[in-house]
Every structure is written in structure tokens, then in C-alpha cells.
Amino acid sequence: MKPMAVIVEGMVQEDGTLDLVGRVNLPSGPVHVTIQPVAAAVQPDRFWAMLETIWASQAGAGVAPRSREEIDAEIAASRDESEGEAAEAERLQDECRGGRERPR
């Protein structure tokens, strides 16, 4: 029989005992058990409180969030700059191709 690994969630209690969640779908017999702590997930309320603290700090320092119009203008400027760079690269490629295609 091919050995198979099963991951089961559980909780280590204060007294050191282990409580498993659900049943294990394995035949009866000896097994090896490895216990690995699970990183605590960030609690949504703690995360939200942290964001509110950051926002309050920024507001207290006079930092105002960008408006939708400012963000849209920055995106448009970035796109225009990228398009200009792409057009310049294409122009240089065409110029180089033209130099190679001329007979010597």
C-alpha cells in the first residue's frame, strides 16, 4: 500500500493536548504526527484600525488623498510618456533597418 499524507487542522490546548477537527480518512494503524504552528491571520478589525490610524496621521500632517481627476491625469501622462518612448524606439529601429538595407 502506498503511503499517503493527510493534513488535518487542529488546536493545541493549554494543557498540551491536541484536538483535531474532523475524522482522518486512513485505515487504523500507527501513524507519525508532525505539528506545525499556523501563522495567525491578520484580524480584519485590526487591519482596518491600522488603516484608520494611518489615514488620521496623514490627515493630521496635512496630507490630502489625490482626487480621482489627479489620479486619472497621472495615468494619462504615464501612458502618453510610454507611447512616446515606444514611438521613438520604433523610429530608431526603422532608421537602423534603413541603414542596413542601403547598398554599399
Q: Is residue 92 part of a domain?
A: yes
The tally of domains found in the chain comes to 1
Say which DSSP state 64 is in: P
What's the pLDDT tens digit per position in 26-75? 888 898 888 888 887 667 788 889 999 999 999 999 988 899 999 999 99
**91 band by pLDDT with thresholds 50, 70 and 90:** very high
H or E element, residue 20: strand 18-20
CB 10 within 8 A of CB 19: yes
Q: Is residue 51 part of a domain?
A: yes
Residue 23 vs residue 81, higher pLDDT: 81
Answering whether pTM is above 0.75, one says no
Q: Which range marks the domain in which residue 57 is found?
A: 44-101
Q: Is residue 49 part of a domain?
A: yes
Q: Is residue 70 part of a domain?
A: yes
Q: Is residue 73 part of a domain?
A: yes
Q: Is residue 58 part of a domain?
A: yes
Cell numbers for 62: 496635512
**Mean pLDDT confidence for 80-89:** 94
Q: Is residue 34 part of a domain?
A: no
